[in-house]
Amino acid sequence: MRSRRVDDICVTGNGSMNVSPESVAAVVVIIVIVIVIVIGYFLSRRRSPKEKSFRCSRCSAVSQHTSRTINAWHAGKTKFFCGSCHSEWLRSHPAARASVRESNGGQRSGCLGVLACLIFIPITFVLAWLYASQYL
């Protein structure tokens, strides 16, 4: 079997490019995948406070940031409490602790849904275009 050169495959007799819908679809899918990976990389990077420690707003003890205080920092809080002051506050406010657990249960940020839309909507359009171009 004789191998064909790229020029023989892509260029027609009049010098114009003959691009198949499948190759266009493949390029579109690759571009969408690259865009989703880049967006996912930037969205998954979670920043943390510049300072590794903080001064407790109640007892003025210097403490290291934990996942709880970093999450509070992400939420825009500026007052942080050490672990013992936080535990004492939770013991004195049992109703607030239960309501926090109930309000967060089952609640999601929606990033997965947005990511699914970014992937499946362009693929659906490309497949519809391929289907229409095949039968028209």
Whether residue 62 sits in one domain with residue 19: no
Work out how many domains the chain is built from and give that number.
2
- For residue 66, tell me if it sits in a domain: yes
- Segments forming the whole domain that contains residue 121: 6-45+110-135
What are the pLDDT digits (tens) for 83-121? Answer: 999 999 888 887 765 555 555 555 566 778 888 888 888
Q: In whole angstroms, how large is the CA radius of gyration of the chain?
A: 27
- For residue 1, tell me if it sits in a domain: no
Whether residue 98 sits in one domain with residue 57: yes
Burial class (CB in 10 A: 0-12, 13-18, 19+), 78: exposed
- For residue 35, tell me if it sits in a domain: yes
Q: Is the pLDDT score of 17 beyond 90? A: no
Give 110's contacts (C-beta < 8 A, 6+ positions apart). none
Whether residue 95 sits in one domain with residue 58: yes
